[in-house]
Amino acid sequence: MVAPQVSVVIPVFNEEAGLPALFARLYPALDALKVPYEVIFVNDGSRDGSAALLEIQYLARPDVTHVIMFNTNYGQHLAIIAGFAHVRGERVVTLDADLQNPPEEIGRLLAAMDAGHDYVGGVRRTREDAWWRRVASRAMNRLREKITRIRMTDQGCMLRAYSREIADAIADGPEVSTFIPALAFTFAHHPTEIDVAHEERAAGESKYSLYQLIRLNFDLVTGFSLVPLQLFSVFGMLVSMGALATYLGVIVYRLFAGEWHQALYALWDRDILSFFLIGMVLFGLGVVGEYVGRIYQQVRARPRYTIRAILESPQNDGP
């Protein structure tokens, strides 16, 4: 058996209706690439017949098929991480099991890697999803672009190719709530993006409810940015400064109006005072947030940096 060069990782959660169609398109598409490959399905605790179908597919193509069975549902991103921990190929491709990501596009991702990229993101040319999902994800893409250092056009597209180094770095991390396309971006040194096709779900329904989508976006924002925490201190500072300016304004106004004996009473003005104090409280919350943020970064235990290469001559050990 030849060692695989390309490992394809596919999370599966209750996809029995679509799996036969996936198998029918995925394997011919991969065979056509003429590179040794392996497919790693991760059954994310499906409660339908997905596990049985995966088992049958494993028996049909045991040479190139691996199936990891979770005991219960951990979510798409942890399923992919489990796949990453098992890959043997130098290149790793992820795609969804519902055929929304056409397997025929894998060759184009790999071609971009041939051109020297270590991370190739897919950008869905036309998106075949409900309108509210398109609107929401455009807004989230824009927000993420502003508050993190991650530069991606289409964070939600899972049709992506990663170098083995990046997949290993992701699999080695202890993080539980994470967002793989963004995490991979932080580990990549020469990422790129290409347009890919997107199709309607072949069968079954989306496995993400509105609530889960919101949770996922919290994973993305809190996992890669401390801005939400820092907003408090900035807002608190603005409120306090506004209150101080109001004090000054009122005192100066009263002095000029000849009410000099009233001027200092402004300091006791309840409204201005409470604005000032609310500002201080928010600022204090923000400062606590700064510390919490640092603790959070520390416990996340992400590699502090990844080194691409070291240029140095062989060490001269002896005298």
Residues that bind ligand UDP (CB under 6 A): 11-13, 15, 44, 73, 75-76, 79, 96-98, 100, 206-208
30 or 79: whose CB is closer to ligand UDP?
79
CB nearer to Mg ion: give 100 or 148: 100
Q: Give the CA diameter of the chain.
A: 96
User: Which among ligand UDP, Mg ion, none contacts residue 105 (Cβ within 5 to 8 A by kind)?
Assistant: none
Taking the CB of residue 307, how many other CB atoms lie within 10 A of it? 7
Report the b/e string of 265-303 with b at 16+ CB within 10 A: ebeeeeebeebbeebeebbeebeebeeebeeeeeeeebe
Dihedral over Cα of 90, 23, 95, 76: its sign: negative
Question: Which of ligand UDP, Mg ion, none lies near 13, with the C-beta cut-off 5 to 8 A by kind?
Answer: ligand UDP
Identify which of residues 130 and 292 has a Cβ nearer to ligand UDP in the complex.
Answer: 130
CB of 235 to Mg ion, least distance (A): 38
| Least distance to ligand UDP, CB of residue 13, Å | 3
Whole-number minimum distance, CB 158 to ligand UDP, in Å?
7
- Nearest alpha-carbon partner for 123 in 109, 136, 104: 109
Burial class (CB in 10 A: 0-12, 13-18, 19+), 89: buried
Say which entry of ligand UDP, Mg ion, none residue 75 contacts (CB below 5 to 8 A, set by partner kind). Answer: ligand UDP
Q: What angle do CA 316, 318, 319 make, to 5 degrees?
A: 100
Alpha carbon distance, N-terminus to C-terminus of the chain = 48
Which of 198, 302 has the CB closer to ligand UDP?
198
Distant-in-sequence, close-in-space partners of 238: CB < 8 Å, separation ≥ 6: 279
Return the one option of ligand UDP, Mg ion, none that residue 73 interacts with (CB less than 5 to 8 A, by type): ligand UDP
Nearer to ligand UDP, 117 or 124 (CB): 124
Q: Which does 12 bind (CB under 5 to 8 A by kind): ligand UDP, Mg ion, none?
A: ligand UDP
Write down the least CB distance from residue 82 to ligand UDP, Å.
10
Q: Name the minimum Å distance from CB 2 to ligand UDP.
A: 27
Q: Please, which residue, 96 or 105, has the CB nearer to Mg ion?
A: 96
Instruction: Give the shortest CB-164-to-ligand UDP separation in angstroms.
Output: 22
Q: Which residue's CB is nearer to Mg ion, number 99 or number 282?
A: 99
CB of 17 to ligand UDP, least distance (A): 11
Q: 85-124 mask for Mg ion (x: CB under 5 A)?
A: -----------x-x-x------------------------
Instruction: Provide the token pair at 151.
Output: 């530069």
* 148 touches, from Mg ion, ligand UDP, none (C-beta below 5 to 8 Å by class): none
Q: For residue 219, how many other CB atoms are within 10 A of its CB?
A: 17
Closer of 98 and 154 to Mg ion (Cβ): 98
Sign of CA dihedral 25, 28, 33, 37: positive
Sequence-distant (≥ 6) Cβ neighbours of residue 73 within 8 angstroms = 13, 44, 45, 46
Distances in Å between the alpha carbon of 312 and those of 309, 315, 319? 10, 8, 19
For residue 156, the minimal CB distance to ligand UDP (Å) is 6
The identity of residue 251, as a single letter, is: I
Q: In what order do the strands lie in the sheet with 65-69?
A: 65-69, 37-43, 6-12, 91-94, 160-163, 119-124, 191-196
Which residues here bind Mg ion, judged by CB under 5 A? Answer: 96, 98, 100
